[in-house]
Amino acid sequence: MKIVSLAQLNLFKILLFGALVSCAQGDQQQKKLQFRFLSPTKTSPIKVIPSIPATKKDSKHATAHPLRGGNVVPMIGPIQSFLSALGEVKSHLAAAAVARGSSFLACYPIDTIKTRIQTRTSNPFGIAGLYGGIGSGLFGQIPYAVLTFGSYEQYKRMLRKRFPEMKPVFAYAIAAVLGDVTGSGWLCPAEVVKQKLQANVFESTGQAVSQIWFQEGVGGFYRGYWNSLMRDVPFRVAQLTTYEVAKNFYLRFKRSQRFHRMSWETRTRQSSVNLELSPVESAVLGGVAGCISTLITQPMDVIRTLMMTNSAAYGNSMVICLKNVLHHNGIRGIYSGLVPRLAYVAPSVAIFFIVYEMTQQKLKQWE
């Protein structure tokens, strides 16, 4: 289990790094191949750039330029490519971090109540411990949001650039899958600790971390990992695809309604102006996307919670866990905690997209 968990974590690191590097290096190669040739007129003759001979030091690594016939400096290294790719989506990274931290803090008590109901904890609505595990949650959620939404934007750009004929909705869905897989390797350990604290299995984060480590090793922090992936991937696909499609449709509708009330001259001047969502519009669209995603993924959320908090009781198998829940509680069992989760996800996603859109708009104004 330890080897598998470490391999999973390394896989996601390689996936994120490789995707970002490939995008950045592709852009660098494209820029290197772009040369301007002026038309042969009297005032603007063609400029011929002589080749630069390679020195002995560089001759082993230099490559012949396809247009100039000389040698060029080799491609930039992976670290520079990685940093360049991050720079392209820095506004999305910052917006995702601020938005996720805000929404997580605002709705955390509801998430605690949902976890208590699913694990059948006594007095699930008790005030004491409503913010138990908040430190672990923030430690997991903010980097997870940065990785997921930052890489989502990068994947989306890469797909639309390399496959221009692809329908936008498919690009959104594929990018959402890749983005969530990229961030999930970081999130799972923090979620295991957080949910054990919410279910009152341990009294503090330090105790939870030490006990999990000594009893189960690294694998203990990845309990329910595949369950998380099976819940989070369809959730993110449904959430981001619904939000993106609804946002684009609404902005087109908003623009058409505004143009109907304008004169021809005003329409011409305003045609290049980009419309943005207001906070209320972001909240409504985000809330709808969150509700749809929650209804689709609720059964896997129940299984994930049970596997993370007490996987040994179900033979460390999500199939056995599902059978057990259905046998004892029927369909209602796999939808336990739906109301608290809707009460958590809908405002959480609404707050997230409000802050996300507003932060990006502010960053664009400051650039």
Tens digit of each residue's pLDDT (9 = 90 or more) over 131-170 = 888 888 888 889 888 888 888 888 888 898 899 899 888 9
Q: Which residue, chain included where needed, has tokens 């104004």?
A: 365
| pLDDT-derived band at 261, boundaries 50, 70, 90 | low
* Angstrom distance (rounded) from CA 211 to CA 106: 29
First to last CA, the chain: 47
31: CB partners within 8 A, 6+ apart: none
Do residues 133 and 111 make contact, with C-beta atoms less than 8 angstroms apart? no
DSSP per-residue codes, 272-339? TPPP---HHHHHHHHHHHHHHHHHHHHHHHHHHHHHHHHGGGGTT-HHHHHHHHHHHHHHHHHTTTHH
What would the two tokens of residue 91 be? Answer: 């506004």
Q: Is the pLDDT score of 296 beyond 80?
A: yes
CA 99 to chain centre: 12
Q: Report pLDDT for 85.
A: 59
| pLDDT-derived band at 33, boundaries 50, 70, 90 | very low
**What global pTM score does this model have?**
0.59
* Angstrom distance (rounded) from CA 218 to CA 3: 9
Do residues 147 and 97 make contact, with C-beta atoms less than 8 angstroms apart? no
